[in-house]
Amino acid sequence: MARTPLIAGNWKMNMNHLEAIALVQKIAFALPAKYFDKVDVTVLPPFTDIRSVQTVVDGDKLLLTYGAQDISAHDSGAYTGEISGAFLAKLGATFVVVGHSERRSMHGETDEIVFSKANAALRHGLTPIVCVGEPLEVRESGDHVEFCTQQTANSLNGLSAEELAKVVIAYEPVWAIGTGRVASAEDAQEVCSAIRAEVATLAGTDIAEGIRILYGGSVSSKNVAEIVGKADVDGALVGGASLKADEFATLCAIAAGGPLP
């Protein structure tokens, strides 16, 4: 099944709202419209930047989309510091990352919390990018496939098949995040295909074949072609390389099969 590649730039805690405007404009300038027929591109800035990004995307009629790095499981009320999916939807957000390993580890986000956040995203018409991935000790023990399929099942179990069809999953081995130690394309394929098989048990083969599964962890313009070229890898969740306009645009163009004539 042909799945349009998705490249998502997770800016993490970088770029104030003015820097965000400049970065989005530079990415748009460096990535001509013709690429957007072959790759979906989204940027995930800090919450404080989203309104500014919306303004420049809408004002300049840019083809890239944008979203958030987290979401509250709740819709409104006494949840100090949290951000409702209703507010993100109002800002024109498309995607929202849930269960990033940095939130799982530093904020105690369990699979159950990740499930509730994915649910909240879907409730507000947002596409959750549900992150799973093993720590180094699990990789070294050879239990990474079982770990990731279990994390996938626990994070998505309870969604209907129709809801699951709307989800993006990102496989991000923790030992590859921010380390420059990128998983091999074969590593990515092994786990992404196992995740797809797990989704098939949850929601059937058609839905499993239709969803996009991304790889994340030290992706750059130098390694993205081989990784996204794998049968079950449908794009990338990019951290550091998404903060440099030319590097990110080049990475997106490669994922689109470019350079295009």
Which residues are near ligand 13P by CB under 6 A? 10, 100, 172, 177-178, 216-219, 237-241
Contacts of 42 (CB under 8 A, 6+ apart): 6, 7, 8, 9, 64, 65, 66, 67, 94, 95
259 cis-preceded (ω within 30 degrees of 0): yes
Is 142 annotated to bind ligand? no
Beta carbons of 119 and 155 less than 8 angstroms apart: no
Name which of 207 and 218 has its Cβ closer to ligand 13P: 218
Is 12 annotated to bind ligand? yes
Q: Which of 109, 163, 172, 247 is catalytic?
A: 172
Q: How far is the CB of 127 from ligand 13P (least distance, A)?
A: 15
Beta carbons of 130 and 170 less than 8 angstroms apart: yes
- The DSSP secondary-structure symbol of 236 reads E
Is 178 annotated to bind ligand? yes
3-state secondary structure 142-189: CCHHHHHHHHHHHHHECECHHHHCCCEEEECCHHHCCCCCCCCHHHHH
Name which of 173 and 207 has its Cβ closer to ligand 13P: 173
Q: Look up 172 and say whether it is catalytic.
A: yes
Name which of 85 and 240 has its Cβ closer to ligand 13P: 240
In sequence order, the β-bridge partners of residue 131 are 170
**CB atoms near residue 184 (< 10 Å):** 13
CA neighbor of 69 nearest in space, from 52, 92, 88: 88
Q: How far is the CB of 202 from ligand 13P (least distance, A)?
A: 23
Q: Whose CB is nearest to ligand 13P?
A: 239
Name which of 103 and 124 has its Cβ closer to ligand 13P: 103
Q: How far is the CB of 219 from ligand 13P (least distance, A)?
A: 5
What's the rounded Cα separation, in Å, for the pair 244 and 121?
A: 28
Is 160 annotated to bind ligand? no
Q: How far is the CB of 72 from ligand 13P (least distance, A)?
A: 19
Is 239 annotated to bind ligand? yes
Q: How far is the CB of 5 from ligand 13P (least distance, A)?
A: 16
Name which of 113 and 200 has its Cβ closer to ligand 13P: 113
What's the rounded Cα separation, in Å, for the pair 119 and 123?
A: 6
Binding-site residue positions for substrate: 10-12, 178, 218, 239-240
Residues with a known catalytic role? 100, 172
